[in-house]
Chain A
Amino acid sequence: GAVVSQHPSRVICKSGTSVKIECRSLDFQATTMFWYRQFPKQSLMLMATSNEGSKATYEQGVEKDKFLINHASLTLSTLTVTSAHPEDSSFYICSARVGRMDEKLFFGSGTQLSVL
């Protein structure tokens, strides 16, 4: 199956700093990637849809200035948590479809963010 690589897997940072998470499609081109947030023992909440070459589409309630998404190439999308605070601590996961008409998602391995 297709491989989506996500880095880092774990990051600990101080409050007020910014953290960048990378999501790469290794063996396919992903025009669209999705970013999710997951709290312990809960489901995935879609944060935004990242579109290559254009602005991301954010879900209601997600601050676009707080969670900056850049999808500059067909194989890389980044999520930057700006001025992180302890309440931003969470598990962040990216995913992508292989083709525009493909219906299943391939997921990265996730990033556990802990803000002190």
Chain B
Amino acid sequence: SQQGEEDPQALSIQEGENATMNCSYKTSINNLQWYRQNSGRGLVHLILIRSNEREKHSGRLRVTLDTSKKSSSLLITASRAADTASYFCATARSGSARQLTFGSGTQLTVLP
């Protein structure tokens, strides 16, 4: 069942600005992951944050996790036109077969 809800559904920014996307989930998790999908393509893994971590960085990406609020955010700094894509959070539930449940996604458009 769909567990993650993301907001905003769509986000349009100028190149160079920062983009923040949020994800909320409902059950206890083992980890939370963010993926990127270009239109009509498969997904690419961006970053994973474990349930005992609060913040993680990878290049221009910064992910936070608040397990008490069951929410996560993905920040893309100094955005580029090439960052235009859909971004999905995915949760791996505690004690599950490690299947991932994907959020509803945020469509990010970075205008040149």
Interface digits, B44-76 against A, CB 8 Å rule (1 contact, 0 not)? 110010000000000000000000000000000
15 contacts between A and B (CB under 8 A): A34-B99, A43-B4, A43-B102, A44-B43, A45-B2, A95-B43, A97-B98, A103-B31, A103-B33, A103-B92, A103-B98, A104-B33, A105-B100, A107-B43, A110-B40
Closest-CB distance, A23 to chain B (whole angstroms): 10
The verdict on A42 contacting B104 (CB below 8 Å), with A49-B99, A103-B33 known, is: yes
How many chain B residues touch A (CB < 8 A): the figure is: 26
Q: Report the bound CA distance from A49 to B4 in whole Å.
A: 20
**A93 adjacent to B88 (CB under 8 Å):** no
Q: Report the bound CA distance from A107 to B42 in whole Å.
A: 6
How many chain A residues touch B (CB < 8 A): the figure is: 24
**B101 adjacent to A93 (CB under 8 Å):** no
Specify which chain B residues have a CB less than 8 angstroms from the CB of A103 in the assembled complex.
30-31, 33, 48, 92, 98
Given contacts A43-B4, A43-B105, 17 further A-B contacts (CB under 8 A): A4-B42, A6-B42, A34-B100, A43-B2, A43-B102, A43-B103, A43-B104, A44-B102, A49-B97, A91-B40, A93-B42, A95-B42, A103-B31, A104-B45, A105-B100, A106-B45, A109-B42
Q: Identify which of B43, B92, B99 contacts A93 (C-beta below 8 A).
A: B43
The verdict on A105 contacting B104 (CB below 8 Å), with A49-B99, A110-B40 known, is: no
**B99 adjacent to A46 (CB under 8 Å):** yes
Specify which chain B residues have a CB less than 8 angstroms from the CB of A104 in the assembled complex.
33, 45, 48
Interface digits, A1-45 against B, CB 8 Å rule (1 contact, 0 not)? 100101000000000000000000000000000100000011111
**B89 to chain A: closest residue by CB:** A43
Q: Report the bound CA distance from A43 to B103 in whole Å.
A: 6
**A110 adjacent to B42 (CB under 8 Å):** yes
**A109 adjacent to B45 (CB under 8 Å):** no
**B40 adjacent to A112 (CB under 8 Å):** yes
Closest-CB distance, B60 to chain A (whole angstroms): 18
